[in-house]
Amino acid sequence: LGEDFGYDGNHGPSHWGEEYHACIGKHQSPINIEEHNVKNVSLPPLKLFGIDNPSLSFVANNGHTVMLKINESKAAMLSGGPLENDVYVFEQLHFHWGENDYEGSEDLINNHSFPMEMHAVFYKEDYKSINEALNHPDGLAILAYLYEVSPNPNPMYEPIVQVLPEIETVGNEKALREPLLLGRLFVPDTATMQDYFTYNGSLTTPPCLEVAIWIDFKDHQRLSHEQLAAFRDLRTQEGNKLTHNFRPVQPLEDRIVLHNIP
Ligand code: 1SD
Ligand code: ZN
C-alpha cells in the first residue's frame, strides 16, 4: 500500500492522484496555516502518557523517510484536546526534510517553510490496529513538530542522528544504542504543549487517506545544520539520495484551522 511513489518526476506528488485517487481529495495535507485565518479556541488539555519511560527503539530507512518504532505495544498514548476522551496509541514517528535549510517542512506557517518536520503517528485505540484505523475519518492523530536551524546540535536527537549512517540504504531496522525517552523528542516544555493548531486532513504520502486529526505545535525545536544534513545522505530504494521528502501544500477548501490558546 502506497509504496510506489517518490518526490520527483513521474512519481512525484503531482502524479500521486493517478494511482491513489484519495490524493486529489478535498481534505488533504499538508496545508499552509495562515495565522490571520484561524479560529481561536480553548480545548480541554492535550495529554501524552508514557513518554517518560525508556523504551527500546528501532529506526529504519523505508526509502521515503526514517521511521522510529518502539518495541513494546502502547508505549505512549495521546488524549484530550481535539481528541476529547478518545485514546490514541503511539505507532511510529518519522521525519520530512528538504534539500537545504530553507525548505523541508510539509505544513507551512504564514507561507514560511522550516527545514524539518517530525510526525508522531497515533491510531485510535478503539480500532485496535493502525490498519483498521485507516478506514475511519478519526483513525489517526498526528503530532507535527517543526524545527529551526541552530548553531548547536540538539542532544535529544543525537541518538537518532548517530545511527543514520548505518541505515543509509533501504532495509533492516537498527536498534538505537540506548533506550529512548520519547518525551525528549516531544515538546520538552509541558506549558507550550497546549499552544497548537489543529485541523482534519490526510496522510501526506500515498494513499493520502483523509483519516488524520493533525495537531501542529506552535513552539519550534532546534537542530544544527549538520544534524539536518545527515538525513539528506539517506538513499531511496533506487539508490538515489533522499535529499527531500516533503509534499507541497494542498488547498484548505472548506476547512477551518483551530488555534488552541493555552
Ligand atoms: O508518511 C507517513 C507514512 O509513512 C505513514 O506513516 C502514514 C501512515 O502512518 O503517514 C504518513 S504521514 O501523513 O504521517 N506523513
Ligand atoms: Zn509524515
Q: Is the CB of 245 under 6 A from ligand 1?
A: no
Q: Which one of 61, 121, 200 would you pick to mutate in the ligand 1 pocket, going by the greatest count of ligand atoms within 8 A of its CB?
A: 121
pLDDT tens for 209-256 read: 999 999 999 999 999 999 999 999 999 999 999 999 999 999 999 999
Residue 166 buriedness (CB in 10 A; 0-12 / 13-18 / 19+):
exposed
Report how far residue 7's alpha carbon sits from residue 19's, in angstroms, rounded to the nearest whole number.
15
Strands 108-109 and 32-33: parallel
Residues 6+ apart with CB under 8 A from 15: none
- Is there an atom of ligand 1 within 6 Å of 142 CB? yes
| Ligand 1 lined by 205 (C-beta under 6 Å) | yes
Distance CA 59, CA 66 (A): 7
**Which ligand is nearest the CA of 66, by number?**
1
Residues of the chain with pLDDT under 50: none
pLDDT value of position 188? 66
Query: Is the minimum distance from the CB of 83 to ligand 1 under 6 angstroms?
Result: no
The pairing of beta strand 57-61 with beta strand 66-70: antiparallel
Farthest-apart Cα atoms in the chain, separation: 47
Ligand 1 atom 9: the closest Cα is on which residue?
121
CA–CA dist 78, 186 (Å, integer):
12
**205 CA distance to ligand 1 centroid (A)?**
6
Can 64 be counted among the known catalytic residues? yes
CB distance 94 to ligand 1 below 6 Å:
yes
Choosing from 27, 64, 94, 96, the catalytic residue is: 64
Q: Identify the residue whose C-alpha is closest to ligand 1 atom 2.
A: 205
**3-state DSSP helix/strand/coil % of the chain, to nearest 5:** 20, 35, 45
Asked if residue 61 has its Cβ within 6 Å of ligand 1, the reply is: no
Contact criterion met (CB below 8 Å) for 26 and 253: yes
Residues having C-beta closer than 5 Å to ion ligand 2: 119
Distance 152 CA to ligand 2 centre (A): 25
Residue 124 CB less than 6 A away from ligand 1: no
Beta bridge partners of 17: none
Atom of ligand 1 nearest to the CA of 205: 1
Q: Cα–Cα distance between 136 and 66 in angstroms, integer?
A: 26
Distance of CA 13 to the CA centre of its chain: 17
ipTM: 0.92
Residue 2, pLDDT score:
60
Render the burial of 127-157: b for 16+ CB within 10 Å, e for the rest: beebeebbeeebbbbbbbbbbeeeeeebebb
Task: Pick the residue whose CA is nearest to atom 1 on ligand 1.
Answer: 205
pTM for the structure as a whole: 0.97
Spatial neighbors of 9 by CB under 8 A, at least 6 apart, are none
Estimate to the nearest angstrom the gap between the alpha carbon of 51 and the chain centroid.
Answer: 17
Nearest to 236 by CA among 27, 64, 39, 14: 64
> How far is the centre of ligand 1, averaged over its atoms, from the C-alpha of 204 (Å)?
6
